[in-house]
Amino acid sequence: MGRIWYAWLVLAVLALSCAPAGARAANAPAPATAGAASAPFCFVGTKPSVSAAAALSAPLDWDCSNHRPGIEAKRTQLRFEIAPDSDQPRYFTSRRTAMKGIEIATRDAAGVVRTAYYREEELIPAHLDATFLAPLPRGEAPLREAVVAVDLPTQAILLTRAQLAQGDPGDSPEGRARLLFLAALCGMMVMPIFFSVAFYRVLRKDFVLWHAALIVSLLAQMLVNSGLLIDLISLRADTMSALMILAFGASMGAGSMFARSYLEPDKLHPALRQALLVIAIASFAASTVHGLFPHVLRTVQADIYYAIHTPVLVVMLVVAWDSLRRGSRAAKFMVAGWVPLFMVGAIRIIGQVTPFMAPTDAMGLFQFAMVFDVFATALGVADRFLIIRRQRDRARNEAYIAEQLAGHDSLTGLLNRRAVEGRFGQLQRDGFHTLAVLDLDRFKDINDRFGHQLGDSVLVACARALDLAEDRDSVAVRLGGEEFMVLLRGSDTQHRVEAFRRAIPLRIARDVPALDRPVTASMGVVAMPPEGLEGMDFAELYARADQLLYEAKASGRNRAMWEKLVVFGAGRSLPVRASAAA
How confident is the model at residue 150, as a pLDDT?
94
Between the alpha carbon of residue 248 and those of residues 107, 210, 261, 282, 339, the distances in Å are 40, 15, 20, 13, 17
Beta carbons of 425 and 464 less than 8 angstroms apart: no
Burial class (CB in 10 A: 0-12, 13-18, 19+), 284: buried
Residue 501: CB atoms within 10 Å: 24
pLDDT at 164: 92
The predicted-structure confidence for 314-352, as pLDDT tens digits, reads as follows 888 899 899 989 888 888 887 777 777 777 766 766 666
Reported as a pLDDT band with limits 50, 70 and 90, residue 505 is very high
Of 113-117, 459-463, 537-541, least confident by mean pLDDT is 537-541
Residue 541 is predicted with a pLDDT of 87
How would residue 13 be classed by pLDDT, with cut points 50, 70 and 90?
very low
User: Does residue 570 register a pLDDT over 70?
Assistant: no
Handedness of CA 46, 50, 56, 60 (dihedral sign): negative
Who wins on pLDDT, 373 or 545? Answer: 545
Sheet holding 113-119, edge to edge: 42-46, 75-81, 143-151, 101-108, 113-119
Architecture of the domain spanning 415-581: 2-Layer Sandwich (3.30)
The CA distance from 580 to 555, in Å, is 10
How much of the chain exceeds pLDDT 70, in percent? 83
pLDDT attached to residue 352: 60
Q: Tell me, what's the pLDDT at 577?
A: 52
Which tens digits make up the pLDDT trace of 270-282?
999 999 999 999 9
pLDDT confidence of residue 404: 59
Q: Rounded mean pLDDT of the chain?
A: 81
User: DSSP character for 558?
Assistant: S
Res 153: pLDDT: 92
- Determine whether domain 2-14+173-397 maps to CATH 1.20.1070: yes
CB count, 10 Å around CB of 327?
11
Q: Given this model, what pLDDT does residue 26 score?
A: 34
Is the pLDDT assigned to residue 535 strictly greater than 60?
A: no
Please give the average per-residue pLDDT across 443-453, as a whole number.
89
Nearest-10 crossing angle of helices 363-406, 173-203? 20
pTM for the predicted model, two decimal places: 0.60
**Residue count (the chain):** 582
Spatial separation of the C-alpha atoms in residues 535 and 382, rounded to whole Å: 52
Give 6 or 184, the one with higher predicted confidence. 184
CATH assignment of 33-171, given 2.60.40.2380, 2.60.40.10, 3.40.50.1970, 2.160.20.10?
2.60.40.2380
359 pLDDT tier (thresholds 50, 70, 90)? low
75 neighbors 47 (Cβ within 8 angstroms): yes
Q: CATH 3.30.70.270 region(s) of the chain?
A: 415-581
Query: Cα separation of 551 and 279, whole Å?
Result: 79
Task: Please tell me the distance from the alpha carbon of residue 505 to that of residue 519, in angstroms, as a whole number.
Answer: 5
Structure confidence at residue 193 (pLDDT): 82
Higher-pLDDT residue of 546, 364: 546
Tell me how far apart the alpha carbons of residues 443 and 441 are, in angstroms, rounded to a whole number: 6
- With cut-offs at 50, 70 and 90, classify the pLDDT of residue 469: low
In terms of pLDDT, which residue wins out, 436 or 5?
436
Residue 19: pLDDT band (50, 70, 90) is very low
Residues 509 and 450 sit within 8 Å (Cβ to Cβ): no
Q: Residue 23 pLDDT > 70, yes or no?
A: no
Burial 82-112 (b: 16+ CB within 10 A, else e): beeebeebbbbbbbbbbbbbbbbbbbbeeee
Provide mean pLDDT across the span 384-402: 71
User: Would you state the pLDDT for residue 424?
Assistant: 85
Residue pair 291/245 in contact (Cβ under 8 Å)? The answer is yes
Positions of CATH 1.20.1070 in the chain:
2-14+173-397
Predicted confidence at residue 351, as pLDDT, reads 63
Task: List every span in the chain annotated with CATH 2.60.40.2380.
Answer: 33-171
Output phi, psi for 25, to 5 deg.
Answer: -70, 165
φ, ψ of residue 18 to 5 degrees: the values are -95, -5
pLDDT of residue 37: 46
Residues 450-474 as b/e (b if ≥16 CB within 10 A, e otherwise) read beeeebebbbbbbbbbbbeeeeebb
**Minimum mean pLDDT among 131-145, 468-482, 500-514: which range?**
468-482
Kind plus residue range of the DSSP H or E element containing 562: strand 560-567
Comparing CA positions, the residue from 218, 211, 222, 288 lying closest to residue 257 is 211
pLDDT tens-place string over residues 202-246: 777 888 888 888 888 888 888 888 888 888 888 888 888 888 889
* Phi (first) and psi of residue 3, to 5 degrees: -65, -35
Residue 105 banded pLDDT, cuts 50, 70, 90: very high
Rg from Cα positions in the chain: 42
Q: Quick one: pLDDT at residue 483?
A: 93
CB atoms under 10 Å from CB of 340, counted, come to: 27
Q: In sequence order, what are the beta bridge partners of 527?
A: 434, 564
Closest CA to 362 of 388, 380, 342: 342
